[in-house]
Amino acid sequence: MNIPCSLTSGESRHVNFFSTLGTALAVMLCQAVLPASSYAQVGGQAISQVAFTMPTELESVLTDFHGGAQGLVGSLVASPKASAFAEKVSAHLRKAGYPFATVRATSDPANPGRLTVAVKPGKIGIGNVDGNAWLSSEGILKSILWSEGEVFHYGKFQSAAAALNRNRFVNVDSKLRPRRSDNGEIIVDADFKVDDSLPVVYKARIANDGTEESSGWRASAGFDFIEPFADSDKFSFNWLTDAENLNSYSSQYSGSNNDNFSWVAFVGYSDSEYDQLISPVALDISGEGFHTGFLLSHKFAHLDSGSVSWNFGLTYLDLTNRVSFAGLPVSDQSLSFFVPRIGLQGVIDSRAFWSLSLLTDAGSSDDADLSYQRPGASSGFFATQFSLAALQRVPLLSNSLDLYFNLAGQIANDPLPASLQKAIGGASTVRGYEEREAYGDHGVHFNTELRFGPSHGRKLSNFGVIRPLFFYDFGYVASEDSLSAKDDSTTMHSAGAGVRCNFKSSVDLGLHLGVPLKDTADSSAKNPRAHFSFDFRF
């Protein structure tokens, strides 16, 4: 199938899987030469038992057919009901994105009354890559989700291949070649013809996600260099600035060794007249100065529900934080220390991601520097961080309605340095409030979004789509103030609406209007705030 893929340059390219007519002929040929369903007829024998077998990947797709399988009990084996049921299941699988699935209804010669309805989804076979001068064959196959032996889903393959072709530096033409294996299952081999150039993606961003101490607006520019030194590696650089006084530079080098081991090394420096948020690989830090470190991850378990990985990281911080009294800046206090962290993370049914980690300074902080910056803080502190994000399809009138949920929090055993306190407020935590308005040793925030697909929004021909959404956000942080011996806590919650727009696969626009539902020190209830972002890639 020739699939149009919009490029950052404005051109239109096509992923040549096989023509629409060719797709129909291929499926018809497979059904004729490689029958989709069959069963052994034993005249006059009634079906007394039905076994409906399938791989775990298809259980959720065929949940509604279990009743129909058991409904065959009592029918004659020679009845057309068994073959009709097998064909119905096969047609449903083709519609669900499994065009090479086969369904066979057979009786057991030793027990003619036992009918087995066996479902085989079709598997990914050999992928041959040719013509690539810059990108590795392994990297291309990984990008289009071509993993030999895995279940073949045409929709996922199509989306992944189209996403790869959106990059201006690569075009992949694909030809699928289905064949029948010895056990009767269809194996899908493929030839991939590649035309690529220097794989560099340039990025720019403008957003009003700055703090109240600045103008509120920040801009960034950078690039990603894909596979500069080895297969499956990437080098990134980013520069961040604002209209007042901020220059921040960061870079990272990441890679993987097979699908089970990955790593990232990072370094950065920021210069500002006020504290700002830097995020070196899943760790939010407030301050200005120098940071560097690494993070290793290893996938050690493959469960029916998903994979589980452990990770270990080490970050060195040499930062300056502004010390304030009664809301007024007093001085800037420097603090240098190491932050080791260990954790677990995993995926659930390809729809949810969770993580749990423990971080500490391992005694590397200076007590005098800590206590000056944060009264009550001392070396040897610990903190636990957790997160859960999920996206679930809402089974209503349309298939383009999703419910998104995101939860992130932190628990600390002692007062933490200002650099590691959790912040809430703003576009990434609680919309409608000032950016990073409140900090605390302990804290949590969660976001819920009802997302509408292009059919509910507006599809702008081949130029892009607009996706509306409604949201509710909540945030809470608390700290133990050693001077007053009172809990210092802040609660926020807000509701609102927004849109996300994508144009030509190179421009993303986001506009969210949040209405605070609770007063805080810097934000008033029912006083809406807009959050805007513009991202450009080429």
Predicted local distance difference test score (pLDDT) of residue 273: 58
More confident residue, 79 or 229: 229
Residue 211 resides in a domain: no
Considering the domain architecture, whether residues 169 and 188 belong to the same structural domain is answered as yes
Same domain, 318 and 437: yes
Which pLDDT band, with edges at 50, 70 and 90, does 9 fall under?
Answer: very low
Do 170 and 90 sit in the same domain of this protein? no
In angstroms, what is the C-alpha Rg of the chain?
A: 28
Do 324 and 461 belong to one domain?
yes
Mark whether 286 and 419 lie in a shared domain.
yes
- What is the helix (H) or strand (E) element at residue 372, kind and residue range? helix 367-373
- 342 with 428, same domain? yes
Task: Give the burial string for 274-291 (b: 16+ CB within 10 Å, else e).
Answer: bbbbbebebbbbbbbbeb
Cβ–Cβ under 8 Å, residues 292 and 316: yes
468, 501 contact by CB (below 8 A)? no
Q: Which residue did the predictor score with more confidence, 461 or 17?
A: 461
Task: Round the average pLDDT of the chain to a whole number and report it.
Answer: 83
- Do 137 and 95 share a domain, yes or no? no
Read off the pLDDT of each residue in 356-370 and give the average, rounded to a whole number.
Answer: 90
Mean pLDDT of 353-362: 95
The reported pLDDT for the residue numbered 235 is 97
User: Is the model's pLDDT at 66 over the cut of 80?
Assistant: yes
Q: Could you count the other beta carbons within 10 Å of the beta carbon of residue 371?
A: 15
Mean pLDDT for the stretch of residues 327-343: 74
Say which CATH number the domain at 320 has: 2.40.160
Kindly report, residue by residue over 472-485, the tens digit of the pLDDT: 999 999 986 655 55
- How do residues 167-194 score in pLDDT, each as one tens digit? 889 999 999 999 999 888 999 999 999 9
Backbone angles phi, psi at 32, to 5 degrees: -80, -50
pLDDT at 105: 87
Share of the chain above pLDDT 70, in %: 82
In this predicted structure, the answer to whether residue 364 has a pLDDT above a threshold of 80 is: yes
Give the distance, in angstroms, between the CA of residue 223 and the centroid of all CA atoms in the same chain: 20
Residues 394 and 370 in one domain: yes
CA distance 333 to 370: 9
Q: What is the pLDDT of residue 502?
A: 87
State the CATH number of the domain containing residue 140. 3.10.20.310
One domain, residues 116 and 132 = no
For residues 203 and 535, is the Cβ–Cβ distance under 8 A?
Answer: yes
Q: Quick check: is 25 in a domain?
A: no
Structural domain includes residue 275: yes
**pLDDT for 247-276, tens place per residue?**
889 999 999 887 789 999 999 998 865 555
- The residue range of the domain holding 408 is 262-510
pLDDT at residue 119 tops 70:
yes
Number of structural domains (the chain) is 3
- Based on the domain organization, do 318 and 185 belong to the same domain? no
Q: Looking at the structure, tell me whether residues 436 and 381 fall in a common domain.
A: yes
Of the spans 55-59, 322-326, 357-361, which averages the highest pLDDT?
Answer: 357-361
E strands in 8-122 = 12-16, 49-53, 102-108, 111-120
126 shares its domain with 113: no
